[in-house]
Structure 1
């Protein structure tokens, strides 16, 4: 595989999509989050979201299957590392890039993205509905998604590809002089603006040999439905994977939660916002097990079974306050899953995008997450560079002390889309 054929930067989701529009004024600390809206959603909005769920359920399932497949690759490569990815952002970004491919290159991406069973004629429209539905999930939760195409002014893209990106993915399209040293700063300024300045750079350099960058950004800011009492937060030991311990601020509260327990783990859901449609799912392996063993069992089918098994239970939850940043080049992981031709100048078919011979040079993914007593703030960016080539008992209360490595996921329960997922080895 010729890595010199395609230039790219990897952002927080997977390949092209940078989601998340937020103004710098909305980039305030999680400690001072203002609700996005004070009015309850109208009955029409609720009905629209219910209809959208029906229309996009198959797409959301495909995105989640792909996300778990990718997670398996990454967690096996970095078993002892903190990991945070945005599978929704990655899947959407790749889907937008897929529209520029044709032939066996397109078939390869379709299969890896688990899109084979979807109707090609309505697929992009379903993505558009899914994006809009996620952005309007809860007036008290900020979930912003943004996409952009940054095109070398000397390059001509096909109208059908550009119009598709604009219409269904709401992508901004900008022509730049890639020979200008300031082009990189222009792109990165957009990234910072659309992630509330939590991710300030995704593109390291821009060259006249680059054809375009496809970028997706996602920004999430949610207040817990029930905030943690700051006065209840105390320093307690957190035991890392190496069985060492470190002092960590631990937040605690009691209440009624969606909960599930097996002989391998405990799982709890902590809801966000007024409507509680979005929530953080925390999976804590039992002391007789490990996070590595849990990750071996983590796949789409098991996930669905575990989520459906959760029941309302009274209990006490203790979780660490934490803040993580993560960066990864996804090229190897995507290649292992079967997306190979886009990286190979001798095979990549981007004829639906341009008449030029181009290929992907890399995929860069960056994420950020902070969890505290108020709620959660998270951001992810994915950048793809395209370069020109020459070619239990339910009534019993529970206790769950998350004082050792754990897995988490932030999920929209209406569309069932997983927005972020991660391993916390050392908060």
Structure 2
């Protein structure tokens, strides 16, 4: 019977083959394994066990130890043409113990921290108070540096020694805890340390590897420069870049907000939210700048954004008034370059907050009211004393119809998504000039109402009054389809039509905190890099962000306001929006949406 001796180290795994190169005429082989431990004479049959697998022809042992040392025997029985054949094979397994490696605990800290090196081994005999102990810093060779910890209570009598060593007892050695504390750890303190405790004949050693990470560089290192100049400021492609980015930004916001406003009206101003973020971008550097550019759908390191925002503000001045402001903590110091660029690009000089919360609330709300023609008069109820800065943007839009509605007061039935008919005041005309077309990509009838100063109101109405049809329209509102819609509608000539619209007056709030997070701006809530604003930036977190928008459709036209803070090719002779619809207030100057939203029920004003 073949027998083989095998020696392997403890902790290894091993596979034992029963027999190899079996004769081809053997049929139906059956394997049986038995194991006889060392120092024993009787073997036992092996079955499946956590320590070994028995897939018949092979035996696999996992993580072997001394309990696996002994004789393993395999018996194979099979049928051949001459009858029953039985074959055996034996293995003698020896386990070699490996000396236990000295345990080493890793302790990690940062330069300047106070770090504890733990040492509290369990002693099994004697009086702990009689134990002797030593701490060493281990060096190459046999000459280790002995450490001499002291109690902090001794600092008054041994100031020089403590100042030199910076090493204290972290606890009381008499309580079986010999941990030490290294104060204001330095990079040179990194290395291997050993704690030895003796009592009677018993010795316990703990080895620790201290890893000291260098202090991170100052947040504003290499981030103190002003915003870089725009190359070729008269290049027309920059405007196209920003227009496309603002369309993508607008559609992205709508897609996120529609999910959180599934059964209610929706109103927001991408121009205001984007304006506030672009002003914040002026002072952002590093990863914060990258996140803001991504959220705004801008190319990375696009230096012309602020110049283009200034031009957009100037071009739309006839119908839209956009304003920016920043209020900051009087204890903060602003970079002169940021103040100068605030004036250059955003026509504003940052103002200091006061020491009074009431005065700060009034100051902010009064500014907002004045810039929105009193359409939004209450933005904040309080300003916390630790507020570091408040970024504000307001948009006020007035767009007069180029045609006119009847001045008589009329009512009509608006059909909601549920099929309910709601009587509402309406705008009506039998001879209103507008462009109408059906957009297959949106599966909606689209009307373009021309407004004064190169602005338009687009109203998108699904062909059927149903949740499925309306939500399909919203799902189709992507950047590509909106751009195609505007381009096609600009080519559709206005025709005299019978028009019926519900009168609308909406004032809606947007949960801007949640929206910013869903846009990936997590860095604003976790130590953002605003080194372009502040030369010595301390941790500044975005704690509050608000967006409030107002819009009304009246006989005179479209009036809308917003404030953001962070603290249809077939023709129709009639057009009716007396069922749920999506609207877009569009600037032909800047080629992007100013306001977007939907009306599910005109009676819901808030």
Give the deviation of 1:415 after TM superposition. 1.9
Residue 493 of structure 2 corresponds to 312
Alignment partners' CA distance in 1, 2:525 and 2:305: 24
Structure 1 residues 54 and 318, CA gap change in structure 2 (3 angstroms): farther
**Could you state the TM-score of these two structures normalised by the residue count of structure 2?**
0.57
Instruction: State the match for 2:449 in structure 1.
Output: 270
Q: In the TM superposition, what is the alpha-carbon distance from 1:368 to its structure 2 partner?
A: 0.7
Shift of 1:393: 4.9
Q: Distance in 2 between matches of 1:246 and 1:304?
A: 33
Say whether the 8 Å CA contact 2:412–2:424 is kept in structure 1. yes
Correspondence 1:243-392 to 2 at 5 A: 243-253=419-429, 254-262=431-439, 264-273=443-452, 275=453, 277-287=454-464, 290-310=469-489, 311-314=492-495, 315-345=497-527, 348-354=528-534, 355-385=537-567
Paired residues of 1:350 and 1:359 also in contact (CA < 8 A):
no
Which of 594, 602, 605 aligns to 1:419? It is 594
**Once the two structures are superposed, what CA deviation does each residue of 1:81-123 show, in whole Å capped at 9, x if it has no partner?**
1111110111111011122222112111111111116731x32
SS at match of 1:351: coil
Cα distance change of structure 1 residues 53 and 245 upon mapping to structure 2, 3 Å threshold? farther
In structure 2, distance between residues paired with 1:192 and 1:363:
18
Q: Which residue of 1 aligns with 2:188?
A: none
**Shift in CA distance, 222/180, structure 1 to aligned 2, threshold 3 Å:** same
Give how far 1:403 is off: 1.0
In the other structure, the counterpart of 1:241 is 417
CA contact (8 A) 2:417 2:580 kept: yes
Q: For 2:301 and 2:285, how far apart are their aligned partners in 1?
A: 17
Give the counterpart of 2:270 among 73, 87, 97.
87
In structure 1, how many angstroms separate the alpha carbons of the residues matched to 2:400 and 2:524?
Answer: 40
Q: Does the 8 A contact of 1:158 with 1:352 survive in 2?
A: yes
Q: Contact (CA 8 Å) 1:216, 1:383: kept in 2 or not?
A: yes
1:393 and 1:129 map into 2 onto residues whose CA distance is: 35
Residue 157 of structure 1: CA displacement? 1.8
Structure 1 residue 54: Cα displacement: 5.8
The residue correspondences of 1:25-40 to structure 2 (distance < 5 A) are none
Query: Is 1:116 the equivalent of 2:335?
Result: no
Give how far 1:207 is off: 2.1
**CA offset at residue 380 of structure 1?**
0.2
Q: Is the 8 A contact 2:436 2:572 kept in 1?
A: no
**Cα deviation digits, residues 36-76 of structure 1 (max 9, x gap):** xxxxxxxxxxxxxxx89765222121112111101100011
User: Which structure 2 segments of 5+ residues have no match?
Assistant: 1-233
* Contact persistence 2:404–2:432 (CA under 8 A): no
Change (3 A) 1:419 1:178: farther
> What is residue 4 of structure 1 aligned with on the other side?
none
* Residue in structure 2 matched with residue 170 of structure 1 by the alignment: 347
Partner of 1:68 in structure 2?
A: 251
Contact 1:213 1:384 (8 Å CA) reproduced: yes
**Contact preservation (8 Å) 1:221, 1:377:** yes
CA contact under 8 A between 1:329 and 1:362: conserved in structure 2?
no
Alpha-carbon separation, structure 2, partners of 1:219 and 1:52? 28
Question: Structure 1 CA distance, aligned partners of 2:416 and 2:507?
Answer: 18
Structure 1 runs of 4+ aligned residues shifted over 6 Å read none
Q: Which residue of 1 aligns with 2:325?
A: 148
Q: Look up the SS of the partner of 1:360 in the other structure.
A: coil
1:95-244 → structure 2 map (5 Å cutoff): 95-116=278-299, 119-120=302-303, 122-136=304-318, 142-231=319-408, 234-244=410-420
Output the CA distance in 1 between the equivalents of 2:501 and 2:235: 34
Q: CA 1:114–1:393 in structure 2 vs 1: closer, same or farther (change >3 Å)?
A: closer
Query: Could you tell me how far 1:252 is from its partner in structure 2?
Result: 2.2
2-side partners of 1:63 and 1:171: how far apart? 22
* Aligned-pair CA distance for 1:132: 0.9
Q: Residue 388 of structure 1 corresponds to which residue in structure 2? A: none
Segments of 5+ residues of structure 1 without an aligned counterpart are 1-50, 137-141, 386-391
Question: How many equivalent residue pairs?
Answer: 359
Whether contact under 8 Å (2:328, 2:350) holds in the other structure is yes
RMSD value, Cα = 2.0
Counterparts of 1:55 and 1:341, CA distance in 2:
27
Higher relative contact order (CA 8 A, sep 6+): 1
Structure 1 SS opposite 2:582:
strand
Q: Judge conservation of contact 2:324–2:394 (CA < 8 Å) in 1.
A: yes
> Structure 1 residues 309, 117: CA separation in 2 closer, same or farther (over 3 Å shift)?
farther
Secondary structure, counterpart of 1:352 in structure 2? coil
